[in-house]
Amino acid sequence: MLWELIQIDGSPHDWFEARGPRCTLIVFIDDATSALMALRFAPAETTRAYMETLRDYLGNHGLPLALYSDRHSIFRVNNPEREGELTQFTRAVKTLGIAPIHANTPQAKGRVERANQTLQDRLVKELRLRHISDIETANAWLPEFVKAYNDRFASQPREGGNAHRDIHHTPEELNYILSYQARRVLSKNLTFQYKTCAYQIRSEGQGYRLRHALVTVCENFQGEITVLHDSRELGCEKYVDGPEPLPLDDEKSVHERVENARFDLRSKFYVKPAADHPWNTRRTQSMSPVKPPKLPRKKADRDKSG
């Protein structure tokens, strides 16, 4: 059935061929037809990149039944001591009513892996012909590429029908779901801490009934904070502004940043050795063993021998 299972993956690559920064392409592809459902360039493969791509997907198509991904830390907590804990992306997917499925091997996601290889050839050439060298311009042009790609390469499914479902959340609720969330317990003074800052609840009509209440802190991708209690927004203000916290990266984004740094170092400082450099030549002369010097015999030994 159409759009019943959507495979998702990120493809880090030099998409702009040194005309722009290295980046990652987030790919959503239909398992039944190999049709591209959503593409989005991002600086790295992070939770934010997948959430923004999912938001675009929901606006264009609706809710799929399931998302098929790998087992990286963006999608699954792999620490045995935190068994059952959900990542930010998986929490958002399950809240929307989408089933998350994790592949055991890369071969299980063969359709999206093959699509990544095709895109690294065709999409790179299209970007070059259109002189596109930045993420913002590329994302604005991608819908045109997706339509042309699907018209040419998407196959017909064995069964007809549309598995997408309607979205029953309001746009404001979607903003809360597709954001970073954390749970906090209010103090008796209706305060809480989030990251390195302290906040005070300023909600009229609630008063001391909110003492020790469990609230949900939602942080959007612009850093704006919203506090929810029983699905209602609470007013709050920051009264202690702590130091800027160190940025946290997902496992994939860390690998991507290290790879980019390695690539930059090679391009700046690497010098290919000459053909006659000692590293490139083999030593053809064999080393003969060195004989120990012949020591003079002692006088007593000479008398005995004489």
State pLDDT tens for residues 232-250: 999 999 988 877 666 655 5
- Determine the average pLDDT of the residues in 133-147: 97
Strands 214-219 and 180-185, how do they pair? antiparallel
What is d(CA 296, CA 279) in angstroms, rounded to the nearest whole number?
44
Residue closest to 65 by CA, chosen among 207, 141, 163: 163
Q: Which residues pair with 23 in a beta bridge?
A: 13
- Count of positions (residues) in the chain: 306
210 belongs to a structural domain: yes
Query: pLDDT tens, 170-212?
Result: 999 999 999 999 999 999 999 999 998 999 998 776 667 899 9
Same domain for 22 and 71, yes or no, is yes
278 belongs to a structural domain: no
CATH code of the domain in which 34 resides: 3.30.420.10
133, with CB counted inside 10 A (0-12, 13-18, 19+), is middle
Same domain for 122 and 200, yes or no, is no
Calculate helix-pair angle for 47-60, 88-95, nearest 10 degrees.
Answer: 20
Same domain for 141 and 22, yes or no, is yes
Same domain for 22 and 148, yes or no, is yes
pLDDT at 285 over 50: no
What is d(CA 86, CA 114) in angstroms, rounded to the nearest whole number?
29
Same domain for 34 and 118, yes or no, is yes
pLDDT at 272 over 70: no
Same domain for 201 and 75, yes or no, is no
Same domain for 25 and 97, yes or no, is yes
pLDDT at 6: 95
> What is the average pLDDT score of the chain?
85
pLDDT at 203: 74
pLDDT band at 67 (very low <50, low <70, confident <90, very high): very high
What is d(CA 63, CA 94) in angstroms, rounded to the nearest whole number?
11
What is d(CA 247, CA 63) in angstroms, rounded to the nearest whole number?
31
User: What is the domain count for the chain?
Assistant: 2
pLDDT at 279: 55
Query: pLDDT tens, 72-125?
Result: 899 999 888 888 899 999 999 999 999 999 998 877 888 899 999 999 999 999
Same domain for 116 and 195, yes or no, is no
pLDDT at 284: 43
User: Of 118, 138, 153, which marks where a domain is finished?
Assistant: 153
Query: pLDDT tens, 11-43?
Result: 999 999 989 999 999 999 999 899 999 999 999
174 belongs to a structural domain: no
Same domain for 42 and 114, yes or no, is yes
pLDDT at 283 over 50: no
| Residue bearing the bigger pLDDT, 91 or 262 | 91
258 belongs to a structural domain: no
What is d(CA 157, CA 179) in angstroms, rounded to the nearest whole number?
34
199 belongs to a structural domain: yes
Same domain for 62 and 23, yes or no, is yes
Same domain for 60 and 132, yes or no, is yes
pLDDT at 286: 47
User: Of 219, 240, 261, which marks where a domain is finished?
Assistant: 240
Contact (Cβ atoms closer than 8 angstroms) between residue 39 and residue 150:
no
Helix (H, G, I), strand (E, B), or coil: what is residue 32? coil
pTM of the predicted model as reported, rounded to 2 decimal places: 0.79
C-alpha distances in Å from residue 91, one per residue of 2, 12, 76, 182, 290: 25, 25, 10, 11, 72
- Determine the average pLDDT of the residues in 64-77: 93
What domain range is 66 assigned to? 5-153
User: Of 116, 136, 153, which marks where a domain is finished?
Assistant: 153
Same domain for 22 and 137, yes or no, is yes
13 belongs to a structural domain: yes
pLDDT at 301 over 60: no
Q: Over pLDDT 70: what percentage of the chain?
A: 78
245 belongs to a structural domain: no
| Residue bearing the bigger pLDDT, 47 or 281 | 47
pLDDT at 4: 86
Name the H helices within the chain.
47-60, 88-95, 110-129, 135-153, 171-177, 251-269, 299-305
252 belongs to a structural domain: no
